[in-house]
Every structure is written in C-alpha cells, then in structure tokens.
A and B are shown apart, each in its own frame.
Chain A
Amino acid sequence: MNPSPEAPLLEVHDLEVRYPLHGGRRGASTLTAVAGVSFRLDQGESLGVVGESGSGKSSLARALLRLTPAAGRALFLGHDLLRLQGEALRATREHLQIIFQDPHGALDPHLRIADIVAEPLREFPPPPPARQDEAVRRMLARVGLGAELLGRYPHQLSGGQAQRVGIARALILHPRLLICDEPMAALDVSIRAQITNLLRDMRRELGLSLLYIAHDLASVRYLCERVMVLYRGRVMELAGREALFGHAQHPYTRALLAAEPIAQPLPAAPAPSAPPASTAPPAPGDAVASPAHAAGCVFHARCPLRVARCRAETPTLRAVAGHQVACHRAGEAVEAGDSRG
C-alpha cells in the first residue's frame, strides 16, 4: 500500500474548528478544537489519528463530514469538502462514511436492523431499488451477521453486533473513505479483536481507505500504515508506522508510547514507568477551555524537554528523520525521556 503518485484521496490544509463559548462575560471566547491541521491520505491507505481527550480528533472527523463548521480546505475527490453545498455536498456522502464510538447510540432505536442498513440505499438508490433487500442481506453476511437479525431492534443486540451493523450501514454504498471515530472504545476487550479483524478484511475486500481515530496506540498500529499524533488540536507528529513506533521524535508521542500498558510483561521487563512528574496533567482551567493560543508550543507545559523557546515560539511541522514533527528540539542529539534539570 505505497502512497500512489496520483492525486491523494483526501488532502487537508490548515483545518480549523472553533466552538463559540458562552461565558458569563460579553464577548464570548472560542474554544479552538482543531488548530491548523494538515495531512494527506492516499487511495487505499489507512491513517491513524491518535490523541487524548481534548486533542480535537473527534472534531476533525465531524468537520470532514460537515457535521460541524470548519475553516480551511479539505480536498476529497477533487472537491473542497468544506465549500460544497446542497446537492453537490450530498453527492460526496456516498463516498465518505463514518462509524461511531457508541455502537448503540449510532443506531436509531426505533428502526429495525434491516431498515437501518437499508437507509443509505434509500438515499442513493442503485437501480433497481427492488434489490435493496438482497444488498442488505449480503452486507450483513459480509460483516458476519446472520439474516435472523434483520427483524430485530438495536437494543436486542450486543455491543459487538451493534458495531457490526454500524459498519454494514457505513459500507453498503462502498465508500472510498471510512472515518472511524474510536470504534473500539465502548466494546468489550474480547470483541475488539473481532472488529479489528473485520475492519482489516473490509479494507482488503473493498479497497477501503481508513481515517482511524483512537486513543490506544496498539490498535492503531495494527490497522494503520501512517499515524498522526494530535495534541490540543495541533499535529505533533506524523510518520509511518514503523518509524513512529520504532523511534518517535516528539516528546508527547514518546510519553504516549511509554504510558501504553503492557499486557504481557516478559520476565525481564521492568514495570512501565510513569512519565516524569512534569508531564502531570495541566491545571483544570486549561483542560476545560483555552483561548486561541497566541504563541508557543501547546505541549510546553507538560514537556520534559522544554526550553525558553518553546514558550515563545510555536513550532511548525517540519521533516526530521523521515517524520513530520512539530517540536523545536526534534532532531537534536537527545535521548528519549530526557528530563530537565
């Protein structure tokens, strides 16, 4: 799955999502959920988007689907998603779909499974509509569900089954790009592996491209060739899978990798060490809402490598050792996990 030399499937430039906050004072401030994110995604490729709460990853997904207003440019199949209106916008929906975090919340509790999965066909009827039933059955079978579920309601399904229904609905139109907004987070651990495998199979069978949003790195590594790390709405690092997991360049990426719990400690492995105290979570005021940043790196308050420059100057995304990194100190001869002082 090498990046193709032709035009990318999705090309995002300086995407920005702001939410107005209605504070007590007049002149409401805004919360910048996504601040100038740029990336590209090639046909057939899978890009992982990793970040913790407040990183803007969900806002990014919703912006691309025009569920939330956004600024910037997002070129998809030659059109700017953020500028399209009316019928033209509607036409792109056939090629761009999404699956959600809460498997039951994503299904209308009053519709039967058959109707839920058939809805996309009603909006974009393939000729002739009489074959919709057949298409629904086939899609359900493809995601590993039997026809006996057709007449059931969402609350009668388990979490894993509901997520499969969501996937069936999203894929029945054979979209080019599937956005996955933390699809495993609400599932049982043993079911996650099933759904991960299903996504892999669907990618292969349908030539699907994925924008896979998650906060756990291990599943991202399994599904995605490239990974983008977000923090507070900005890209910290963007690199290929081996590169990112092998030798991450950004201190935040390293902190995430260090914090990932190890399920099968080898006898000699030490217990995972916590990031140093200076990466303690920021004061609650920062976590809830921050005014648009004037300058400085968003991560500097928690960064073990920070220097004076980090507070004053916003780092730009630049190429370092084959990664895209937004860090003033990336590329210097420093060891991973260096602390100040």
Chain B
Amino acid sequence: MAEARGPLLEVRGLTVRYPGPRGGAGGGLRAVDALDLDLAEHECLGIVGESGSGKSQLLLALLGLQDPAAQVTGSVRYRGEELLDAAPARLAALRGRRLAMVFQEPMRALNPYLRILTQLTEGVRAHLGLGRRAAAARARELLATVQIDAPAQRLRQYPHELSGGMRQRVMLAMALMCEPEILLLDEPTTALDVTVQAQILELLRDVRRRTGVATLFVTHDLGALAAIADRVAVMYAGRMIEQAPAAELYRMPYHPYTVGLLGSLPRLDQPLDAPLPAIRGQPPDLTALPAGCAFAPRCARHFAACSTRPEWRSVTPSRQVACHLDGPAAAVGVGP
C-alpha cells in the first residue's frame, strides 16, 4: 500500500536544550540529544522510554509546542518542509490539520467547561471552514468511528460526565477530525485500566486500517507497542539508542538497555523461582550525565570504549543501534 516516496517525517539531529540557571551549559540539560528519526506513510513507529528519556519532549518539539525556555536545534521535515523555523501561522495551520496529537491525561487535556461538541468541532471549523451542521455531522461520524455509543447524546455532555476510556476516545476523535496524515500519541493508554487499554489499542489498529494515518506512539509500556507498532525506537537520557522493526526488536534486542527492559518485565509464563532480572541503578540525572554513553553506569557490559559516546549506526539494513558492543547484548548474556 505504501508508495515509494520520501519519508513523511524526517528528523535529523534534533536537540532540545534547557540552559542552566546562568544561561550557560553548566547545570543545563538536553532533554533530547541529537536524535534522528524517520516516519514513513501509514507506518506506526513506537517510541519507548522511561522518565528522563525525553520522549514527551520529542513530541512537543515536533509540533513546536515545547517549553518557551527550551532551545530547539536540528531539522524536522514534514514532506520536505522544514518545521523548526516555520512561521507560527504555518505551524498553526499544520497542527490539527496534518499533524494531530493525543495527550496523556484526557481529563487535563479536555476543557472541563466546554461541551464535547464544541471541543470536537473547534479544529475542523477553523481548518476546513465547515459550517456548524456539517461539523456536527462529522463529529457524530467520528464518535462512531471511535466506538462511542449514543454519539448524539455524548456530544452534549461535558468531559466529567464521561469515563476515562471514553475521554480518551474523544481525544482520539478530536485528533482525527481533520483527517491528519500523522497522529502523535503521548502515552494514550497509561492512565487507563488494562481492559480499556486493550480496547483503545484495538481501536487504534482499526483506525489505522481504515484511514491509513501514520502514527507516532510514545509510551513506557512495551507490551502496548507489541500489539500495534511496525517499528520500535528506544530512548534513554534524551538519546535514541536502538531502532528496529517491532518483531525483531522483541525477539532479539541489541542494546543492553533494551535487553534489560524487556527482561525485567514480569511475564505470565515466567518461572517463579528466580528474582526478576532488573537493571541496577537509578534513572539518569540529565544535568549530570557521564561523558560517553549515558547508560554505561548501569550497564553490565560496559567496557573501556564506553567512555566515548557511541555512534548511531546501522548494524543490519533494518536496525540501528548506539552501542559499542559488536552484536546483540542478548546473545552474549546480559545479566542484572
């Protein structure tokens, strides 16, 4: 189905920097550090990371929604058009229309004082100039797409009258109103119960099938991505450290962090006599990263070369890693 065009979204060397208290580098930090990323049409790219990984900052920077105190450098090209230095009016025209975002906490992202109808139709009336009736009709259509029952009734309700799962569906509907090409999702299932999560993931798969929208799915939940992502990228301390097709990544992770992360998840079919293989140490302190590989202090496999920062390189045609090790860490047995 995908035509052989250039990537839909091309990110090179993206850096989001917060200066230190004195304006210099001292005490400052890089929430995102020299990141490269490609998103092809209709593709679903999952981005995995924990606290301090920079995954949410990445999404915000893509849309130009980052903190005003942050300095963003690098290149973000949407269909060849550079977004980082685009005029604010141009960005506003693109947001919601071509690149849409679904935020993490639906209760916070929805305006508690406006009815669902108002919030759903706001974007489509601004971008596509639809009249009130047409916009409402489209809203009803989309609520049905996201499997909300009694759409006409729901439109008149306020956010607090809906359950968490419903609110998340509304957020998704809002994002889809203008038929965007790229859907950015920031932890859409984290705040939800596990059965509701499963439904939302199923819904997302369905939406992708129907509309062909490309998706950038940011989460800390590796399990969720297994269900939906074509490719998975792993972030640590603001850097991308591994990227591969989903099935390959889960089957044979290369980077010790990825290995540790997958290994530490308790699974339903795991033997119970041994302790869980855990990554030792604490999440990284972005203001005090070691020179060289950011993961080295916690890595069971670190050696002399790790004091220099590893390059982002292709180890197979479909996989990139930033690690000095030759070959997958899993193959050589990464312990806790």
Chain A's nearest CB lies how many Å from the CB of B49? 10
B193 and A274 form a contact (CB under 8 A) = no
A62-80 interface code vs B (CB 8 A; 1 in, 0 out): 0000000000000000000
A192, A193, A217, A260 pick with most chain B CB within 10 angstroms = A193
For B279, the chain A residues whose CB sits under 8 A away are 190, 193-194
| B163 contact from A161, A218, A222, A281, Cβ within 8 A | A281
Q: Are A263 and B265 neighbours in the complex by a CB distance under 8 Å? A: yes
Which B residues from 268 to 304 make CB contacts under 8 A with A? 268, 270, 272, 275-280, 282-283
**Complex partner residue of B193 from A188, A215, A267, A277, CB under 8 angstroms:** A215
Is there a chain A Cβ closer than 8 Å to B39's Cβ? no
A281 and B169 alpha carbons, distance in the complex (Å): 12
Q: Give min CB distance, A198 to chain B, whole Å.
A: 9
Q: With a CB–CB cut-off of 8 A, which chain A residues contact B195?
A: 52, 255-256, 259, 275, 279, 281
CA distance A222 to B270 in the complex (A): 9
Residues of A within 8 A of B270 (CB): 222
B223 within 8 A of A: yes
CB atoms of B199 and A262 under 8 A apart: no
Question: Does the CB pair B201–A221 fall under 8 Å?
Answer: no
Cβ–Cβ contact B50 & A188, under 8 A: yes
Total number of A residues with any Cβ neighbor in B under 8 Å: 50
Asked if A38 is at the interface (CB within 8 A of a chain B CB), the reply is no
Contacts of B199 in A (CB 8 A): 274-275, 280-281
Complex Cα gap A194–B280 (Å): 7
A221 to B251, CA, bound (A): 23
Residues of B within 8 A of A264 (CB): 226, 250-251, 262, 265, 267
Residues of B within 8 A of A287 (CB): 163
Question: By the criterion CB–CB under 8 Å, are A267 and B251 in contact?
Answer: yes
Residues of A within 8 A of B276 (CB): 193, 196-197, 222
Query: Which residues of chain B from 254 to 273 have a CB within 8 Å of any chain A CB?
Result: 260-262, 264-268, 270, 272
| Min C-beta distance of A222 to chain B, whole Å | 5
Q: Which of B164, B250, B264 contacts A189 (CB 8 A)?
A: B264
The complex places the Cα of A287 from the Cα of B264 at a distance, in Å, of 33
Contacts of A160 in B (CB 8 A): 282-283
A197 touches B163 (CB 8 A): no
Quick check: is A265 within 8 A (CB to CB) of the other chain? Answer: yes
Interface positions of A from 235 to 287, Cβ below 8 Å from B: 245, 255-265, 267, 271-272, 274-275, 277, 279-284, 287
Q: How far is the CA of A56 from the CA of B15 in the complex (A)?
A: 45
B159-180 interface bits toward A, Cβ cutoff 8 Å, 1 = contact, 0 = none: 0011111100000000000000
Please give me the 10 A-B residue pairs with the lowest Cβ-Cβ distance, nearest first: A261-B223, A193-B264, A193-B278, A52-B193, A259-B198, A274-B202, A188-B50, A218-B266, A193-B276, A287-B163
Name A residues whose Cβ lies closer than 8 Å to a Cβ of B.
Answer: 52-53, 158-161, 188-194, 196-197, 200-201, 215-219, 221-222, 245, 255-265, 267, 271-272, 274-275, 277, 279-284, 287-288
